[in-house]
């Protein structure tokens, strides 16, 4: 099993991440003829191209990884560190040596619990010569770090899913809720769902989901028949669901909403479903819609969620990543670890190909995009936002089933 300690030792510059250079020699050919006494001809030695060897004198590119390795998000951050470390190791090990132009040094930095902690370690990374930053995880920290990074000429590939923090040189690599809502709204409308009710938390995420749904259904001729924003408590959820049920019961049959979009996950999703089941709403007659927050194996275990639809990255690549990660580290990664893997693969791929010690920004925003090992097709835009091609998944008792595959390119 490959341990983090070994990988970090290699990444620290104390030794290089390399793959051995192998040679293979063919067996001597045998001549069975009795008409000649010529000695057997030895086949020329055939060399298998080496991989992962950094050429002498190659420029060093330091890439900072900013994740919470302590505090309440430590489990998430440490899994992201493991994923990033694995990505560097795999990328070197699978790249032909003659294609490697630089040496990558990963600088893990603990962003702790506050934006102030993030600023402090980002400053350290810049002082230590980081040319590129992956992270941080939270939008508030991105906002705090961005001015300093821009002043230093350091590009940031953040894990934020908030478009508001994006700008030229500060990229959002998280799954943007607007794109998830656009994808599921289009699919639902094309499948004759024209009237939708919305249950969403009364925070920035919930408001963003509601705003996008209104726009996407409205421009197609559909309707948000009713919406409820709730505070995160059982009493408030019960009250919001009761108002939703009253609106459903008082509508004419031809005007009743056909689906409920629930912009929540985890234990709150269970609370919401329990509240709905106490009303007159028959979930067997209502299509449940949601976001990538439902991309959680625990959600598939909720009986009431059977048949629900949501958008997410294609599940097959993630399943392979999860299996590989588990084999290496001995535990299952959190979902966010896959973003750290793909982000680090992108940064190191571009860095290794750079002979001048910098990551090419034009390559970073290639309009054709990149296929992430864990989350499939994506691209970064010059305005700092990201775009992903998502699949539509249906929840079944056995897990998730793809009912509409993700597009394979960004061509219309």
Kindly report, residue by residue over 238-286, the tens digit of the pLDDT.
999 999 999 999 988 888 999 999 999 988 999 999 999 999 999 999 9
Q: Which fold has domain 177-312+394-404?
A: Rossmann fold (3.40.50)
Residues contacting 78, CB < 8 A, separation 6+: 67, 69
Q: Give Dmax over CA atoms of the chain in angstroms.
A: 102
CA gap 159, 157 in Å, rounded: 7
- Residue 320 DSSP code: H
d(CA 252, CA 346): 53
Q: Model-level pTM?
A: 0.85
pLDDT value of residue 412: 58
Measure the CA–CA gap between 412 and 409, rounded to whole angstroms.
8
pLDDT at residue number 48: 65
CA-CA distance, 199 to 210, in Å (whole number)? 9
DSSP H/E element including 403: strand 399-404
Which residues, in sequence order, are CB contacts of 206 under 8 Å at separation 6+? 200, 229, 263, 264
The domain 60-174+315-380 belongs to what CATH superfamily? Answer: Response regulator (3.40.50.2300)
177-312+394-404 matches 60-174+315-380 in CATH topology: yes
Cα 85 to Cα 65: distance, rounded to the nearest angstrom: 10
Give the 3-state secondary structure of residue 301. Answer: helix
Residue 200 has pLDDT above 80, yes or no: yes
The pLDDT, as a whole number, for residue 390 is: 97
Predicted pLDDT at 34:
38
- Supply the mean pLDDT for the chain: 88
Cis bond before residue 136 (omega within 30° of 0)? yes
Alpha carbon distance 343, 369 (integer Å) = 13
Q: Residue 101 has what pLDDT? A: 85
pLDDT at 46: 52
pLDDT attached to residue 355: 83
Summarised one tens digit per residue, pLDDT across range 283-326 is 999 999 999 999 999 999 999 999 999 999 999 999 999 999 99
Buried-exposed string 377-387: b where 16+ CB fall within 10 A, e elsewhere: bbbbeeebbbe
pLDDT in tens, 26-79: 333 334 433 334 444 444 445 566 877 887 888 899 999 999 999 999 999 999
pLDDT score, position 261: 98
Closest to 325 measured CA to CA, from 53, 90, 109? 90
Q: Give the domain ranges of the chain.
A: 60-174+315-380, 177-312+394-404
C-alpha–C-alpha distance, residues 372 and 342, integer Å: 5
Q: Among 91-105, 214-228, 302-316, which stretch is predicted with the lowest mean pLDDT?
A: 91-105
Percent of the chain with pLDDT over 70: 88
How is 201-254 classified by DSSP, letter by letter? Answer: ESSHHHHHHHHHHHHHHHHTT-EEEEEEEE-SSHHHHHHHHHHHHHHHHHS-GG
In this predicted structure, the answer to whether residue 331 has a pLDDT above a threshold of 80 is yes
Residue 172, SS3 per DSSP: strand
**Radius of gyration over every alpha carbon of the chain, rounded to an integer in angstroms:** 26
pLDDT at 100 over 90: no
Token pair of 241 as six digits: 């669901």
pLDDT in tens, 336-391: 999 999 999 999 999 988 888 788 888 999 999 999 999 999 999 999 999 999 99
Token pair for residue 296? Answer: 């959680």
The Cβ of residue 12 has, within 10 Å, a number of other Cβ atoms equal to 12
């Amino acid at each position: 099993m490959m341990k983090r300690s070994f990988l970090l030792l290699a990444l620290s510059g104390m030794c290089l991440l390399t793959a051995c250079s192998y040679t293979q020699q063919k067996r001597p050919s045998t001549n069975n003829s009795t008409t000649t006494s010529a000695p057997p001809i030895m086949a020329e030695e055939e060399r298998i191209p080496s991989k992962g060897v950094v050429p002498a004198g190659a420029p060093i590119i330091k890439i900072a990884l900013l994740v919470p390795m302590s505090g309440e998000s430590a489990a998430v951050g440490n899994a992201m560190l493991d994923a990033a470390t694995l990505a560097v190791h795999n990328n070197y090990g699978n790249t032909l040596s003659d294609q490697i132009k630089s040496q990558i040094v990963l600088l893990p930095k603990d962003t702790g619990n506050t934006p102030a902690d993030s600023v402090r370690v980002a400053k350290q990374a810049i002082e230590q010569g980081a040319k590129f930053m992956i992270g941080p995880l939270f939008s508030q920290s991105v906002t705090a770090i961005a001015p300093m990074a821009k002043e230093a000429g350091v590009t940031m590939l953040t894990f934020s899913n908030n478009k508001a923090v994006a700008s030229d040189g500060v990229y959002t690599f998280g799954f943007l809720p607007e794109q998830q809502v656009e994808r599921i709204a289009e699919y639902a409308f094309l499948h004759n769902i024209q009237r939708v009710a919305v249950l969403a938390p009364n925070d920035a995420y919930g408001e963003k989901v509601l705003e996008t749904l209104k726009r996407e259904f409205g421009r197609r001729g559909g309707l948000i028949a009713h919406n409820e924003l709730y505070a995160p408590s059982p009493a408030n959820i019960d009250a919001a669901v009761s108002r939703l049920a009253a609106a459903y019961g008082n509508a004419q049959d031809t005007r009743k909403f056909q689906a409920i979009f629930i912009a929540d996950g985890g234990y709150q999703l269970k609370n919401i479903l329990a509240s709905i089941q106490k009303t007159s709403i028959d979930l067997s007659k209502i299509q449940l819609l949601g976001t990538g927050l439902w991309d959680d194996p625990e959600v598939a275990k909720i009986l009431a969620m059977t048949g629900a639809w949501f958008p997410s990255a294609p599940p097959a690549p993630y399943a392979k990543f999860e299996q590989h990660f588990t084999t290496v580290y001995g535990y299952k990664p959190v979902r966010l670890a896959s973003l750290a893997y793909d982000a680090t693969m992108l940064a190191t791929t571009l860095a290794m190909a750079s002979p001048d010690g910098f990551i090419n920004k034009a390559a970073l925003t290639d309009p054709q995009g990149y296929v992430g090992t864990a989350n499939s097709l994506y691209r970064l835009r010059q305005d700092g936002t990201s775009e992903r091609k998502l699949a539509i998944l249906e929840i079944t008792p056995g897990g998730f089933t793809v009912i509409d595959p993700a597009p394979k390119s960004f061509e219309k």
